[in-house]
Amino acid sequence: MSQTTFIYGFHAIIAKLRHQPDAVLEIFIAADRHDARARDLLKHAELHSVRVVPVDTGRLDGMAGGGRRHQGVVARISAEVRHVSLDDVLDTLEEPAFLLILDGIQDPHNLGACLRVADAVGAHAVVAPKDRAVGLTQTAIKVASGAAETVPYITVTNLARTLRELKERDIWVIGTDAEAQDSLYTAQWPQSTAWVLGAEGDGMRRLTKETCDQLVTIPMLGSVQSLNVSVAAGVCLYEARRRRG
C-alpha cells in the first residue's frame, strides 16, 4: 500500500492539482468555506476528478497536527510523488514572484525557521542548492511546523545559473550583505523579487553575490554584527511584503 501524507493551505494544494493531480487522493475542506478561494479550489478539483469532502474544522485540525495554519483545507496526497520544479511554481503565478533563496544553509533548525518565515509572508517558494546545504531533513520539517508542506522547497544543481534564469524572467535578484552600500529600508526594487541569504557565518558565495542585481544591508545599530539567517530572512521578507501591499 502506498504511503500518504497531508498538505495544507490553498496555494500548496492548487499548485499540486495543477502539476501533479494524480498525487492528490482527496481534499477535505471546512464545511463553512464558500468564498472565492474555496470555489477556485473546487473548480480545480472537479477538473481533475478529485473528491472534495466537507468536514468540520476540528477534523482539519487533527489532520494538520494541531496548531498548523491549514486555512480550512487539507489534502491527502501520495507521499511517493512530491517533486515540484521552480518552473512549475513560476508558471502558475498570477502575481509578481516572491522567492527566498538560501545559499548553503547548513543548520536544519535555520532551514526550518526560514520555511516558517516564507510561509508567514506568503513567499511562493524557497530555493536552495542540492550540494553544500542541509536539505529538508526531519529536523527541518519539524522546526518548520507545517511550512514544509505549504511552501515548495526546491533544490537546484547550479544556484548561479538558476539566478540568471530568474533574471531572464524579469525577477529582480536581491542579495543581503553586511558590506552593501544600500540599506534595506532606503533601497528601491521592483515588485517581482528573489531574496538571497547566505550561509551561517560565511554569507553568500562569491559567484552568487556577483550574480545578484542588487545588494542591501540590514542596519545593525547595536554591538552585534550580524543576525541569524532566519531572523534576517524575516526582516527582509516582511519589508518586501509591506511594500507589496
Q: Which residues of 172-191 are buried (b: 16+ CB within 10 A; e: fewer)?
A: bbbbbbeebeeebeeeebee
Instruction: Give the model's pLDDT for residue 228.
Output: 92
Question: 164-223: per-residue pLDDT in tens?
Answer: 999 999 999 999 998 899 999 999 999 999 999 998 777 899 999 999 999 999 999 988
Q: What is the pLDDT of residue 1?
A: 44
Q: What is the DSSP string of 156-171?
A: ES-HHHHHHHHHHTTP
> What mean pLDDT value characterizes the chain?
89
The single residue listed with the C-alpha cell 542596519 is 219
The pLDDT of residue 2: 58
Confidence of residue 81 (pLDDT cuts 50, 70, 90): low
| Domain layout of the chain by residue ranges | 4-78, 86-244
Residue 152 has pLDDT above 80, yes or no: yes
Q: Which residue has the higher pLDDT, 201 or 2?
A: 201
More confident residue, 179 or 18: 179
> 64 or 163: whose pLDDT is higher?
163
Share of the chain above pLDDT 70, in %: 95
| Angstrom distance (rounded) from CA 72 to CA 58 | 10
Q: What is the pLDDT of residues 70-80, one digit of tens each?
A: 889 999 988 66
Question: Which residues contact residue 6 at a Cβ distance below 8 angstroms, ignoring those fewer than 6 apart?
Answer: 63, 64, 74, 75, 76, 77, 149
- 4-78 has which CATH code? 3.30.1330.30
Query: Span 31-45, mean pLDDT?
Result: 93
Q: State the pLDDT at residue 17.
A: 86
* Mean pLDDT, range 22-40, rounded to an integer: 93
Average pLDDT on 115-132 reads 94
* Among the listed residues 196, 14, 149, the one whose alpha carbon sits nearest the alpha carbon of residue 91: 14
DSSP three-state, residue 76:
strand
CATH T-level fold of 86-244: Alpha/beta knot (3.40.1280)
Average pLDDT over residues 25-41: 94
> Are 26 and 5 contacting, i.e. CB atoms less than 8 angstroms apart?
no
